[in-house]
Structure 1
Amino acid sequence: SALRVLSDGPNHHFYTQPSVPRELTSAVDSHSLSSGEGSGSDDYVDNVESEPPDEDGVLRGLAPSDDVSRFYRSNVKFFVQMGGFDAIVERIGRVPLLSLTAVRMLLRPYLKVKEALQHTVLQACVSSVHEAVVRYVDSLTDEQLKQEDRKSISELHKVLSAVLHAARFPHGLAALEQLHLTLALKCLKTPNLEKRLFGLNDIKEAINIAVRKQELLEGFERSERKGRAVGEVSSGAALSASSSADLLIAWLQREHVVELIFGEGLHDQIVRRCVEVLCFLAMHNALDARLLALIWRSSHDKHESVKQAIYLVLIDLTGHLPLQLLDELYALIKSVPFSEYSTHTVSLLRGFAISAIQSPLNPARGKRWYGINELWEMMQERSPVSPELRVMASNVLAELLTWTVCSTQRAPMLRRCVSLLECGTSVPQTLRLAMRVLSSYPCKPRKKTESLQQVLVWLAEKCELLDVFFSDFTRYHAAAAGRLASLAAVADAARAAGGVREGAALLSLRSARMQHLQHLQERLDFLHFCLVSAPLQLQR
């Protein structure tokens, strides 16, 4: 009904058709029958002379060039005086609540009257309806949100944006963004996964806008320092003032968005898409140890898919954490006993180590070598992990040490390998690791980098590599021979006795022989690598 009142069509009873002389009919027709979204349809336009603002202060003045019918203006004034806009505000807030499409239709009259109303009157009406829409969004139930699609949400935002712009609403952009975030938070709190994803995407969109504005402002500030126009800098500051990163961070903290994502409604699809929110907070020093511990605890006693999603988010987050939080996350990872490790845990340790070691916030002087000690301990035979995880830990450690950033840790690790070889424990994996670390050295010496040959000579002279190797070889040969002889005796006795024990004994003997051959091959491969890569002399 509001749109019918705000018209000047001849079928409306508020409209009075003017008496036009027959000889002026053609002239009137040439200036009439125009319509537009902003000013309403005009069946008759009196543009002969200007019209001052009305005495009640509702209608603005009419210039000769304005294409607005005086009868349309009368209808607008009547609509305002009869409380038409108050009725719109009242209906938006009354239960049963309307759909988003219906609310959008109720906002259209504000666009219709923008050319007729006084600016102060229009602003007052728009201020009231904006507050009503905010309250309406807060009152929406989960079931009502479930019935709305993304298009209806977007269309409501567009219409409200046009209304605020038409009224030149103070801080209109900030008001729009606040409503946008309120609706996004409302969607994020619903139990419906689709709506939660909508809400999270809208929050990420607001973050992207804030980051781009901040980057633009920083660019203007750099331009000012270079002596460019100061006026451009002020315009950039005005552009970013309405949606600064600080305001968005305060909103994220006030509404407990991180707690909402990793709380009771935890879902792996939400977690996989929230890394931008966490990185944004971390980049602005707004992510503290409490939130980091909350994210970590949310992975406890969860399905592997959820746990993997949380671990991937922590890996992506690592590169943005300050040094103190890197230490906090490292302590949380180390709190997991080796007996509870899985492939996902080793992958987490690997991703964290790669990101944390090369992080610009990890200082070059006193650098922390995250994960190297844990991987070294995990690859040992005494560690309570499966053989597959031992191999995985050894490969990850070798990957880190062959990385240029970790070049300073190669020599200490080679010393560890020689010491472990001297003890005679975990020899096969130790030799494999040593070969991969040695292979990372160039064949020819470079500036500030030793060659493979130089490193092998150094190991042979300073660490007595060959002596240690052959001592272990002799010790291992004696132990293996005794073990195989014992298993062979058991197999002979079982064969003589017959029965089911004979098959088990033969299987054990065959398995021990295969393992023995594998260990011999590992040692011979390492010896061959050393003798081919460097001019080492055998003493015995």
Structure 2
Amino acid sequence: MREFLIPSLQKAFLPQLEVIFTIMLGLGDEELRTVKKEDVEEIVRHFEAILKEYAYTETWEKSERFCLAFALKCFRSTNLEKRLHGLSYIEEAISMTQRRKYQQWDDGMSYTGYTNPTYRAPQVARWMDSKYLLAWIQENQIIERLFQSKLSDMHPELIKRSKNLLKFMASEKFLNQGHLDMMWKATATQHAEPAVYEVLGAISSNLSPEHQNYLLQLIHSIPFAEYSPRTINLIAQFQNTYSSYPSSTEIKLRTMNLLWQIVQDDSKVEQSIADAALSQLCKVVSAYNLRIHRNMLIQIFCDHIRNRVSVHQSIVLLQKVLQEHYHDDKEMRTIKGTDNSRQKVVNELKSEVGLVDLLFRELALYKQACVRRRAEILSTAAETGDERLADVDWNTAVLEGRYPHLKQVSTRLDFIRFVFDYSIARLTKDRADIMWESLVLNSMSREEVETTLGWFYRICSSFSKQNSNTITGVMVDNFFEHRLGKLDVASLSGMGFDCFRRYFCCLNSQHRSLRMEGPIDDFLVLQFDGLLGLDQLWNVALGSSVEVVFKESMTLLVALYQKVDDTRQFNAVRKSFVDRCMERLQLAHQQITLGENVPNAQNQIDRLIFMLKNFLQESKLRDEKKKKEGGAAPAAVGPMPKLEPVVAAPPPKNVPQVRKGKEQDVAFLQEMIPGLSTVAAVLAMEKNYYNMDLALSALMEDSTKDKLMAEAAKFETEAAQAEEVEAQMAAAVEAVEEIPPSKFLFDNQAYFDLLFELLNHDNIDRDRVWEILMELPTNPIIEQTLKTLRSPNWDELINSRSLYKMLYCLQIIDRLMSYGEKDTEAQTKEKYEWCKLFFYCDGFHHILNLVLHDDFLTRNQSSRAFKSCLQLLLKIIHFFIQGMSSTT
């Protein structure tokens, strides 16, 4: 309604509104509780709106003075909610004075806008300025009431809400040392300490350098043993000072120095505090404005490593500093002239400081100290009988410094790898020996060995380009033969085998026996006879006590014997796998028979049978896949062809070819010299530096011409022979018939007998042996014996002592005697004659006696073999009794 009020009427409103202000300021605490913050804002807004056209300065002064007076009244209230309202009124006054510096005033009224119809411009102070407001804050002792009031009045929430007020005072240079002392003294109050620390951290970046230094002195005056996470967070806030003044860098250096003292091994802070300080220190050393001090920091950290003082912390921080240097992937392992590149700095440390040797030397010394400390602990445990000391978890034990042992080992290994990755340094034999003897041979725990093997695993990451590995090709040979090859296979872990497999593949790839085509399990065997470490792989597969290691090593073995590039060797390689399995099965069978190391022999049999069955299945899948893809089908069941090696032909010499652009010159020479071959013309050009005139002059001489013609004829003859040999070799390769591995078992009666013998042993997986037998064609000797019935030894063929062999023979008998609907008359007659012969050869009587009088029924009746045998026995007996009844 402002537009309807004439100035004289506006003047009449002024005393009335002043009375309202007086009433508001005279409210008691109980009455004040009912007044909402929005109500006060509405009164002030309408007051300014009505009198906007009258006495600008006087109106604004009255309204803004009222706001401050009402804020003070609320702030002094005994009600916490009103005190918080009062503090928020003060903060709004601060915001208004701040806007006055940067914005033009407006009428502060709502107006209709396109995007926001109820938009209200933020209020700006018209009369009050920062100077007046600061004087008002000092006069009414706002800060003192926050931090020097009675214990019951110093509420944490009020302190937290004072951040903007204190930031305003600090930015206006109004906050003094007395105020800091006042706030610091408040930290002694337990319930207010968290809030005070939070506020100090929030305003630290707004303080002047002098006050920042003073606050750091106050923090430093606290004994380290009394530091808390809040103390570390407060120190870290000083890193948020963004200023171009040198004093800003000085503050950061002082902060870094304080944090550095906290993380030292001999500081008396709790481990959690040291961890928090180290985390903050990592952020400090990577700060951009400290980059000019990086060389100094690197030197400090290297000196600490050399002197073996707070090594873990020094390594963590040194790696963090080095990571902040510029790095380009193309710079990998290359010394370039780029200033401050990561590679350049690391290589300089390697050459000037001897960083690599320093790290390995320190690692050995650290481990020696740990071994001595462990001996002391165990000695004390033995003397005192304290079982707690004897049962120490060495991974988490702090043996030197302030960090757990395994964490210290991991930190050292990670940094050593980092240095190798960004320098020209390589793992030498001496360095590998230090690491192996310190962390594997003298390990404190299995996890320490795992960590070390994982480190060796990761440094060998390339198979095709060994020079890109931290470990050289020569060291791969040495490490695999003298270190990995001598590990105890029984206790080899999953990570240990991963490391073994990677170096096995890398070694054989390096010797051109394997071609790696992708991941670790994607390879092709180029020279099977040249594979190194194959015997060790067999030992791992058969000797490991870890199930996952056995399965992974078996998978690798089977793949090696399947993925053979040379098809001429393929059958021989497959046969060698079957032969090796059966030879080891024979040895294990003999051990059980002699009673020597029976449990180990039984385990060997189970693993060998599992491997053999897996190999047969993989071979079958491979052959089926090849057949689907249009390759040659595997050989059918029958006699195995003789495996003969095919000798490769020597490579022919390269026949001289016409150089590009010289075709016309060669054709001209052939035209000028009748009977001149293309090869002879090319030779003439080559020997005369492709000068056609010189070549023509040489060919005009009969002796030179004849010599060139003879040389050309030799080239042509060798090329023709090479083509013929290649054609023969290609035909030979096509003629090689892939033999399924089951044939190697089928054609060897000794293998069949051994499998049947294994079925007599207890505590082995006989079902899997039986499955292998069922995948093979019927044994020709047993089948022929039962088919012809010429003096059969029934006790050997069918006896209850060998259930599986009995079952095998009973299946053959069932097939020979059973009539089929599609049988011809001749087949039916043949089966009838066989049944008569079986009956008169005592076959039926032997089976009947087996059921009635033998101890067959006392066998393990729950086994599948027993149930299958009993079913077939009853079927055969029923068949013959029924036949005799019908005959009678």
| Aligned match for 1:417, one of 284, 297, 301 | 301
CA distance in 1 between counterparts of 2:263 and 2:398 reads 23
Change (3 A) 1:534 1:148: same
SS in 2 for 1:180: helix
SS in 2 for 1:521: helix
1:528 corresponds to 2:417: yes
The 8 Å contact of residues 315 and 415 in structure 2, kept in 1 or not, is answered as yes
Which structure has the larger Rg? 2
The 8 Å contact of residues 391 and 429 in structure 1, kept in 2 or not, is answered as no
CA drift at 1:456: 1.4
Matches within 5 A, 1:381-530: 381-444=265-328, 449-491=339-381, 501-507=386-392, 512=397, 515-530=404-419
1:343 corresponds to 2:216: no
Q: Which residue is 2:62 aligned to?
A: 175
AA partner of residue 157 (structure 2): Q
Matches within 5 A, 1:6-21: none
CA drift at 1:216: 2.7
Write the deviation string for residues 140-182 of structure 1: whole angstroms up to 9, x where unpaired.
3322212322243234434544565576375210111001110
Write the deviation string for residues 323-365 of structure 1: whole angstroms up to 9, x where unpaired.
222222222222222111111111111112x123x23455578
Matches within 5 A, 1:267-306: 267-303=155-191, 306=192
Matches within 5 A, 1:294-333: 294-303=182-191, 306-333=192-219
TM (norm. structure 1) is: 0.65
SS in 1 for 2:282: helix
The 8 Å contact of residues 428 and 523 in structure 1, kept in 2 or not, is answered as yes
Change (3 A) 1:449 1:143: farther
SS in 1 for 2:425: coil
Q: Which residue is 1:154 aligned to?
A: 41
1:192 corresponds to 2:114: no
The 8 Å contact of residues 323 and 361 in structure 1, kept in 2 or not, is answered as no
AA partner of residue 334 (structure 1): H
The 8 Å contact of residues 163 and 203 in structure 2, kept in 1 or not, is answered as yes
Structure 2 unmatched runs, 5+: 106-123, 431-888
Change (3 A) 1:448 1:136: farther
Q: Which residue is 1:66 aligned to?
A: none
The 8 Å contact of residues 398 and 436 in structure 1, kept in 2 or not, is answered as yes
AA partner of residue 142 (structure 2): V
1:242 corresponds to 2:132: no
CA distance in 1 between counterparts of 2:9 and 2:388 reads 101
Identity %: 25
CA drift at 1:292: 2.1
Change (3 A) 1:168 1:363: same
SS in 2 for 1:442: coil
CA drift at 1:293: 2.0
Change (3 A) 1:240 1:503: closer
Structure 1 unmatched runs, 5+: 1-35, 40-113, 219-238, 495-499
CA distance in 2 between counterparts of 1:117 and 1:189 reads 38
SS in 2 for 1:483: helix
The 8 Å contact of residues 217 and 240 in structure 1, kept in 2 or not, is answered as no
The 8 Å contact of residues 197 and 234 in structure 2, kept in 1 or not, is answered as yes
Q: Which residue is 1:58 aligned to?
A: none
Matches within 5 A, 1:20-419: 122=11, 126=14, 135-161=22-48, 164-165=51-52, 168=55, 171-216=58-103, 242-264=127-149, 265-303=153-191, 306-352=192-238, 354-356=239-241, 358-360=242-244, 363=247, 369-419=253-303
AA partner of residue 412 (structure 1): M
AA partner of residue 40 (structure 2): I
CA drift at 1:211: 1.0
Whose RCO is larger (CA < 8 A, sep 6+)? 1
Aligned length: 398
Write the deviation string for residues 8-37 of structure 1: whole angstroms up to 9, x where unpaired.
xxxxxxxxxxxxxxxxxxxxxxxxxxxx89
The 8 Å contact of residues 210 and 244 in structure 1, kept in 2 or not, is answered as yes
CA distance in 2 between counterparts of 1:375 and 1:365 reads 15
CA drift at 1:260: 2.1
AA partner of residue 242 (structure 1): W
The 8 Å contact of residues 75 and 83 in structure 2, kept in 1 or not, is answered as yes
Change (3 A) 1:440 1:484: same
CA distance in 1 between counterparts of 2:42 and 2:23 reads 16
CA distance in 1 between counterparts of 2:410 and 2:425 reads 20
Write the deviation string for residues 253-272 of structure 1: whole angstroms up to 9, x where unpaired.
22122222223222222222
CA distance in 2 between counterparts of 1:298 and 1:489 reads 51
CA drift at 1:385: 0.8
The 8 Å contact of residues 263 and 277 in structure 2, kept in 1 or not, is answered as yes
CA distance in 2 between counterparts of 1:391 and 1:200 reads 37
CA distance in 1 between counterparts of 2:398 and 2:131 reads 68
Write the deviation string for residues 361-396 of structure 1: whole angstroms up to 9, x where unpaired.
555786752410011111111111111221221111
Write the deviation string for residues 271-304 of structure 1: whole angstroms up to 9, x where unpaired.
222222112222222111111221222222222x
Write the deviation string for residues 491-533 of structure 1: whole angstroms up to 9, x where unpaired.
5567xxxxx7334422376755995444333322222221221
The 8 Å contact of residues 394 and 405 in structure 2, kept in 1 or not, is answered as no
CA distance in 2 between counterparts of 1:324 and 1:148 reads 44
AA partner of residue 164 (structure 2): E
SS in 2 for 1:369: helix
The 8 Å contact of residues 236 and 280 in structure 2, kept in 1 or not, is answered as yes
CA distance in 2 between counterparts of 1:296 and 1:513 reads 36
Write the deviation string for residues 462-500 of structure 1: whole angstroms up to 9, x where unpaired.
333234333323322332222223334445567xxxxx7
AA partner of residue 240 (structure 2): S
Change (3 A) 1:262 1:512: closer
AA partner of residue 368 (structure 2): A
AA partner of residue 390 (structure 2): A
CA distance in 2 between counterparts of 1:349 and 1:493 reads 46
CA distance in 2 between counterparts of 1:325 and 1:491 reads 54
CA distance in 2 between counterparts of 1:195 and 1:490 reads 65
The 8 Å contact of residues 362 and 368 in structure 1, kept in 2 or not, is answered as no
CA distance in 1 between counterparts of 2:93 and 2:395 reads 66
TM (norm. structure 2) is: 0.41
SS in 2 for 1:507: coil
SS in 2 for 1:286: coil
